[in-house]
Structure 1
Amino acid sequence: MESNGDDDSSSFSGYLLDGHGTFPSRIDRRQSSLPSVIVIGGGISGIAAARILQNASFKVLLLESRDRIGGRILTDYSFGCPIDMGASWLHGVCNENPLAPLIRHLGLTLYRTSGDNSVLYDHDLESYALFDIEGHQVPQQTVIEVGEVFKKILKETDKVRNEHSDDMSVLQAISIVLDRHPELRQVGIAHEVLQWYICRMEAWFAADADMISLRNWDEEQVLSGGHGLMVQGYDPLVKALAKDIDIRLNHRVKRIANGYNKVMITIEDGRTFVADAAIVTVPIGVLKANLIKFEPKLPEWKRAAISDLGVGNENKIALRFDRVFWPNVELLGIAAPTSYACGYFLNLHKATGNPVLVYMAAGRFAYELEKLSDEAAADFVMLQLKKMFPDATTPVHYLVSRWGSDPDSLGCYSYDLVGNPADIYDKLRAPVANLFFGGEAVSVDHQGSVHGAYSAGVLAAENCRKHLMGRLGSWDKIELVSCREELLEATVPLQISRL
């Protein structure tokens, strides 16, 4: 069940301390003899962890600070159709993706926006229209040719990386390459198109190129099958995974005390919950801001890993119109003299049939947009559209995300800063006594993705289970049941469209 946070029922007396801060009675403890775990954070990673442990007959409670589940997955229905204002793509439309069986079982449709070779820019070259800042469309051949140059530049950065023992930013490496190979420099509109390609790379990492580690930028393991938009949004998937889990909304965790083979969790209003272990899946931005107090303090190596990891920002401005006035392409791009001034719109009409455009901004620009009111942000976007399409109509509705300033996220997703230690992810996911860690930032190979967050939650649950079974001993016959196996009663193919 999902709770609105107003009722802490007696069925969870094994978690909730009484008003005097004392532990429950011996009778209550006998009723709560199952291994108990509190999951902190109701994004897909926390929900996956809770689902796994509940299927394994553990006593599970999930605490979520927001008034909704999903975390950085947010499907908005105010347009009369689903709009994902957070995560929206499945990166890797293939059976190797752990979410594919769930999507298939639920009958959800994917709209493929790229093929297997798309790593830095999640679109196909034949399905976009690129314009300069004056609103003139850039010839297709120019965009293709500059794209080939960009690939050559990135290939040359490999040599720069191999020549330097110290890490540097991707932007610095590109500058070195262009100094060595002046023939790769672009001028005029070609230079602006090159900046647009860099802008798209920055959007992938949700960070500016001068912040992204050269050593690690291309080490992410990208699953095959290209990228697919969730046509019905991610919300149906999240709700299916969360079914029948005891979720307490509006429960913001402020303190985690770890000791004596128990974990004590204190929420904002002072109520306290106790369990055998806890799984922390809050966003890396929240951990970096020290919004949760750990007692005792997390070890220095854990705190250093949290501090060293980068957290990016990407925001969306979704616009719904009464009619379509733009071409039938997946992306509308804006090329400019700097990557900061470039931009792009995702055309949801082509993917879903709804007259919606979604403007996306990443890195420093995403933070700048958050300083504007919703109306001012929508007006800024409309200025870009009217340059490209003078007959553009006023939107009938608009939505603006603010992931960087959202106190429950403080950023979009993680990325490798310049100088990141090689073992940073091992340290991020490593448990501390009875505390285990999930979330996209601790994924083994797929940071910044929904399936990476899901997999990290599953791994944290498996490690937590093994730890408690080894410690408690009496529950060694409990079998870990995959939430995929529970949901899959029939095998149906992934529904992939291409309008």
Structure 2
Amino acid sequence: MLSRRTFLTGTVAAAALAACAGESAGESDDETSPTTVTIRPGADAVSDDIANEPPVAGRFTPVASIITRWRQDPFAFGSYSYLPPGASPADRAALGASIGGRLFFAGEATSLDYSATVHGALLSGRLAAAEIDAIANDGETIVIIGAGAAGLGAARSLADAGYAVTIVEGRNRIGGRVHTDMSLGVSLEIGAGWIHGADGNPLTELAEQFDVERFVTDENESILYDADGKEVDDDLLESIEELLAQLDFNGAATIGDVIETAIAKLDDGEARIARYVATSVVEHEAAADIGQLSPESMVEGEEFEGDETVMPNGYINLLAPLAEGIDVQLERIVTSIGHSDEGVEIGFADESMVVADRVLVTVPLGVLKAGVIKFEPELPGDKLAAIGRLGMGVLDRVILEFDEVFWDEDVDLIGYVGDEPGLFVEWDNWARVVGKPIIVGFNAGSVAERIEALPDSEVIDLAVQVLTNIYG
């Protein structure tokens, strides 16, 4: 199966899609989080959110489930950023530009090299910290808004440089769009999941520094099924991948315009497989439909080489040590930021206020787009325009635990060419990582947003139906 990290990178330079699993957020124990956990009565784990309906007996009946709805998350309003038509990397630069030496910005959406990734967020925070350190004086008060990878990375750098740093975080936990859920008795990532490219990656350095266990996953250890449960012929899949690899996106309004034109020339069977490839490789990376993506999104940024790794004991273990010794104030929801030549005033939902010399804003792009933080004076026009042009995508997970593994045990990735394009086309075999019969299905873009509007029971039914189509 075609690797995401090499898709459309051969002969067409305009097709070098940056790998970006991104950092989506959510948690089962946060009252404001749309993430829901359901556990069948009698299961080992315990939850306050027990399903009211009696379970249907059978091999495909989940013991427990976790459903994420990141578009509805009030601390993110999406998963990670992308470039829609009309946007460019220059918008990321404008978003990350400081204002008056008092107000600074960081986060994956500001990263020119590694946007939509945790390591991009971490590096952007360190970059902003260096900018602050270059102009700040001893004894100044520095407040960082947001305890995600960007905020924690910046705080660690500034604290190590001798500054007194305070982090204010709206959630009741640190990590932001990195969250390890333990409600099913094992570490499950309902936000960011991978270190993408281990070689030289700053997250790998953290893993080694903090002695965090890693597990290598390989997307080439995969299998692809058609809607009838039959395995898709490897030669046919490779021919479709080669066709898409030759597409020229120069001058196109969107990636989708080019791909759909190519698909229209295929027969029905080939077209369905081509749409699967476009969804799994492009849309799941960008967290947006191919029709929403600028061709420029495929050439922005860089990649680290090396293995794709996950943390069996929790991704949060990479970030939590960064907060040691730093004043982190949780459940502090920022509503306003006033800034001038003299300093910054931060207003909170409880009507309290904090005065600081300098402030670093690391909230996700979705929060800035929603306008839930009022800036006084208003942000500069170029920054507002950048916020408006950049896109905030959505990638959702449905995590299912069963009584036993009935799927392919020896692969990491299970693909599905369904009748409905984009619906649960990709499954990760998490049993290999955590040692329990758990499988994770993904939806992205408009499909994810449609699924988010459904009640939990219908979401689970759709997911189970796909698994039944493959293995029933």
Q: TM-score, normalised by structure 1?
A: 0.64
User: Which deviations, in whole Å up to 9, do the C-alpha atoms of 1:112-143 show, x marking residues without a partner?
Assistant: 334xxxxxxxx21xx22212223222223322
In the other structure, the counterpart of 2:425 is 343
* Pairing 1:113–2:217 present: yes
Quote how far apart the aligned CAs of 1:344 are: 1.0
Quote how far apart the aligned CAs of 1:213 are: 0.5
The one-letter amino acid paired with 1:151 is: A
The one-letter amino acid paired with 1:211 is: Q
In the other structure, the counterpart of 2:151 is 46
Instruction: Provide the rounded CA distance (Å) in 2 between the counterparts of 1:206 and 1:305.
Output: 19
Quote how far apart the aligned CAs of 1:384 are: 0.7
* Pairing 1:67–2:172 present: yes
The one-letter amino acid paired with 2:245 is: K
* Pairing 1:130–2:211 present: no
Partner secondary structure for residue 340 of structure 1 = coil
Instruction: Provide the rounded CA distance (Å) in 1 between the counterparts of 2:246 and 2:418.
Output: 21
Quote how far apart the aligned CAs of 1:342 are: 5.7
Instruction: Provide the rounded CA distance (Å) in 2 between the counterparts of 1:148 and 1:171.
Output: 17
Instruction: Provide the rounded CA distance (Å) in 2 between the counterparts of 1:337 and 1:129.
Output: 18
Instruction: Provide the rounded CA distance (Å) in 2 between the counterparts of 1:279 and 1:368.
Output: 34
Tell whether the 8 Å contact from 2:244 to 2:259 is kept in structure 1 after alignment: no
The one-letter amino acid paired with 1:113 is: T
Which structure 1 segments of 5+ residues have no match?
5-31, 115-122, 180-184, 391-499
Partner secondary structure for residue 315 of structure 1 = strand
Quote how far apart the aligned CAs of 1:388 are: 1.0
Listed as ranges, the matches of 1:414-453 within 5 Å are none
Structure 1 residues 178, 187: closer, same or farther in 2, change over 3 A?
Answer: closer
Deviates more, 1:260-269 or 1:142-151: 142-151
Partner secondary structure for residue 387 of structure 1 = helix
Quote how far apart the aligned CAs of 1:74 are: 1.1
Aligned counterpart for 1:152 among listed residues 246, 256, 265: 246
Aligned counterpart for 1:315 among listed residues 386, 389, 396: 396
* Pairing 1:168–2:168 present: no
* Identity rate, percent: 31
Listed as ranges, the matches of 1:343-362 within 5 Å are 343-362=425-444
The one-letter amino acid paired with 2:374 is: K
Quote how far apart the aligned CAs of 1:248 are: 0.7
In the other structure, the counterpart of 1:22 is none
User: Which deviations, in whole Å up to 9, do the C-alpha atoms of 1:139-178 show, x marking residues without a partner?
Assistant: 233223322222223xx33xxx1xx3xx510011224556
Q: TM-score, normalised by structure 2?
A: 0.68
Quote how far apart the aligned CAs of 1:337 are: 5.3
Larger radius of gyration: 1
Listed as ranges, the matches of 1:71-470 within 5 Å are 71-94=176-199, 96-114=200-218, 123-124=219-220, 127-153=221-247, 156-157=248-249, 161=250, 164=251, 168-176=253-261, 185-200=265-280, 201-327=282-408, 328-336=410-418, 339-341=421-423, 343-390=425-472
Partner secondary structure for residue 367 of structure 2 = helix
In the other structure, the counterpart of 2:142 is 37
User: Which deviations, in whole Å up to 9, do the C-alpha atoms of 1:51-95 show, x marking residues without a partner?
Assistant: 11111111111110011111111110111110000000111111x
Instruction: Provide the rounded CA distance (Å) in 2 between the counterparts of 1:346 and 1:310.
Output: 26
Instruction: Provide the rounded CA distance (Å) in 1 between the counterparts of 2:285 and 2:329.
Output: 33
Quote how far apart the aligned CAs of 1:226 are: 4.0
What's the C-alpha RMSD, in Å, of the aligned pairs?
A: 2.0
Tell whether the 8 Å contact from 2:415 to 2:426 is kept in structure 1 after alignment: yes
Tell whether the 8 Å contact from 1:42 to 1:70 is kept in structure 2 after alignment: yes
Tell whether the 8 Å contact from 1:330 to 1:351 is kept in structure 2 after alignment: no
Instruction: Provide the rounded CA distance (Å) in 1 between the counterparts of 2:266 and 2:294.
Output: 24
Instruction: Provide the rounded CA distance (Å) in 2 between the counterparts of 1:319 and 1:175.
Output: 33
Deviates more, 1:343-352 or 1:260-269: 343-352
Structure 1 residues 178, 136: closer, same or farther in 2, change over 3 A?
Answer: closer
The one-letter amino acid paired with 2:467 is: L
Tell whether the 8 Å contact from 1:196 to 1:342 is kept in structure 2 after alignment: no
Tell whether the 8 Å contact from 1:34 to 1:57 is kept in structure 2 after alignment: no
Quote how far apart the aligned CAs of 1:317 are: 0.6
Quote how far apart the aligned CAs of 1:277 are: 0.3
